[in-house]
Homo-oligomer: A and B are copies of this chain.
Amino acid sequence: MHVDSAAILQMDASYRKHLINSFLGFKPGLLIGTKNEQDQTNLAIFSQVIHLGANPPLLGIIFRPDSAERHTLQNIRKNKYFSINHVHEKMIEAAHQTSARYDSAISEFDAVSLTIQYIDNFEAPFVEESKIKCQCSFVEEKRIEVNQTILLIASIDAIFIPDEFIKADGFVDSAAAKSIAVAGLDAYYACETLNRFSYAKPNKPISSIL
């Protein structure tokens, strides 16, 4: 395939959606847990989550305002707190099923048979089956006018990770936790470590730090 923007715009809409969503490669696969004003829980898979900063710890989530994810966005706007939970290899069917457009009266936790977990006094509903998880809270929204998508900016309030997956330098080994990667709208991958490299400097070869 060798296409320019005119050819991309003339593609069949479904074909273009799969192509453009998938061709940038691998993304995280993360379950976002929220509650609405009636304390009804909601769970939805997202791959559009991005690191925004370590100090203070911040992340961003891209939302399409008219898409199936609107329950999650509405709940975060109203309730402020939410959880982010890793998906491991045995959870991919359940995680994918959360993308169905369930009625707001139905909790995806029940619909896909994942277990609601509350941790200490943290407000967000977590996924008990997930090994790596965090609580976040709403900071602000940025509207991307060109296509009306929304970048939601959130602070990371708490992190829960089994110690066995954390290296001495703070690095979290998602492959050891059997967390999956996502591509496009519907593809799930196992990841295997190739290498970790030292901080790169000009005129100095990098070395493995595995």
Contacts and interface: CB of A to CB of B under 8 A. Distances in A.
A179 to B, nearest CB: 5
Interface stretch (A18-26, A35-43, A75-83): A18-26
Interface in A1-24: 1-5, 8-9, 11-24
A186 B199 CA distance: 8
22 contacts: A1-B160, A1-B162, A2-B160, A3-B159, A4-B157, A5-B57, A5-B155, A8-B159, A13-B55, A19-B170, A19-B171, A20-B156, A26-B174, A26-B179, A51-B62, A56-B146, A93-B197, A100-B200, A101-B202, A173-B187, A187-B196, A192-B192
Given A24-B51, A151-B151, 4 more contacts: A14-B169, A52-B149, A56-B147, A93-B197
A170 B92 contact: no
Q: How many copies does the complex hold?
A: 2
A116 interface: no
B172 A22 contact: yes
A97 interface: yes
